Amino acid sequence: MANTNDFWDALTDLAKEKNISMEVLIETIENSLLIACKNNYGKADNASVEIDKATGEYHVYLSKTVVDEVADSVEEISLTDAHNIDGKLQVGDVVKIEVKSKDFGRIAATAAKNTITQKIREEERKVLYEEYYELQHKVVTGVVTRFSGSNIHVNLGKLEGFLAESEQVKGEFYKPQDRIKVYIVEVKTSNKGPRILVSRTHPELVKKLFEEEVSEVRDGIVEIKSISREAGSRTKIAVWSNDEDVDPVGACVGQNGARVNAIVNELRGEKIDIVEWDENPAYLIENALSPAKVVAVIADADEKSARVVVPDYQLSLAIGKEGQNARLAARLTGFKIDIKSETQAKEAGDFLDYEEDYDDDEYYDEDEYYDEDGEYNEDDYEEVEESSEEE
Task: Out of 120-129, 159-168, 333-342, pick the least confident.
Answer: 120-129
Residue 372 has pLDDT above 50, yes or no: no
Confidence at 290, pLDDT banded by 50, 70, 90: very high
The amino acid sitting at 174 is Y
- Per-residue confidence (pLDDT) for residue 314, from 0 to 100: 95
Report CA-CA distances (Å) from 314 to 24, 38, 85.
Answer: 68, 83, 102
CATH code for residues 139-199: 2.40.50.140
Residue 81 — very low, low, confident or very high, per pLDDT cuts 50/70/90?
Answer: confident
92-130 pLDDT per residue, tens = 888 888 887 665 656 556 766 777 778 788 888 888 999
Identify the three-state secondary structure at position 220. Answer: coil
Angle at 148 between CA 145 and CA 153, to 5 degrees: 35
- Written as one letter, the residue type at 227 is I
Across the range 77-94, mean pLDDT stands at 87
- Structure confidence at residue 5 as a pLDDT band (50, 70, 90): low
Contact 384/321 with Cβ under 8 angstroms? Answer: yes
Task: Check residue 384 and give its pLDDT.
Answer: 42
State the chain's mean pLDDT as an integer.
84
* Least reliable range by pLDDT among 33-42, 53-62, 216-225, 364-373: 364-373
Asked if 254 contacts 360 with a C-beta cutoff of 8 angstroms, the reply is no
Q: Tell which phi-psi region holds residue 135, choosing left (phi > 0), alpha (psi between -120 and 50) or beta.
A: alpha
- pLDDT above 80 for 20: no
The better pLDDT of the pair 55, 249 is held by 249
Q: What is the DSSP string of 145-190?
A: EEEETTEEEEE-SSSEEEE-GGGSPTT----TT-EEEEEEEEEE--
- Which of 333-336's residues contact partners 24+ apart within 8 Å by CB, and which partners? 333/226, 333/238, 333/281, 333/284, 333/285, 333/288, 333/306, 334/226, 334/304, 335/281, 335/285, 335/299, 335/304, 335/305, 335/306, 336/304, 336/305, 336/306
Give yes or no for residue 203 having a pLDDT over 60: yes
Average pLDDT over residues 65-76: 86
Among candidate residues 165, 124, 155, 169, the one with its CA nearest the CA of residue 24? 124
Question: What single DSSP character describes residue 246?
Answer: S
Among residues 136, 284, 117, which one has the least CA distance to residue 199?
A: 136
Q: Work out the pLDDT band at 360, boundaries 50, 70, 90.
A: very low
- Within 311-382, strands assigned E span 336-341, 369-370
Superfamily of chain region 203-390: K homology (KH) domain (3.30.300.20)
Lowest mean pLDDT among 7-16, 84-93, 325-334: 7-16
Please state the rounded mean pLDDT for residues 53-61.
Answer: 76
Q: Does domain 5-131 have CATH number 3.30.1480.10?
A: yes
Instruction: Show me where the domains of the chain are located.
Output: 5-131, 139-199, 203-390
- The β-bridge relationship of strands 151-155 and 139-148 is antiparallel
* Sequential DSSP letters for 5-44: HHHHHHHHHHHHHHT--HHHHHHHHHHHHHHHHHHHHS--
pLDDT tens across 224-246, in order? Answer: 999 999 999 999 999 999 999 99
Instruction: Give me the pLDDT at residue 214, please.
Output: 97
Residue 333 has pLDDT above 60, yes or no: yes
The per-residue pLDDT for 105 is 55
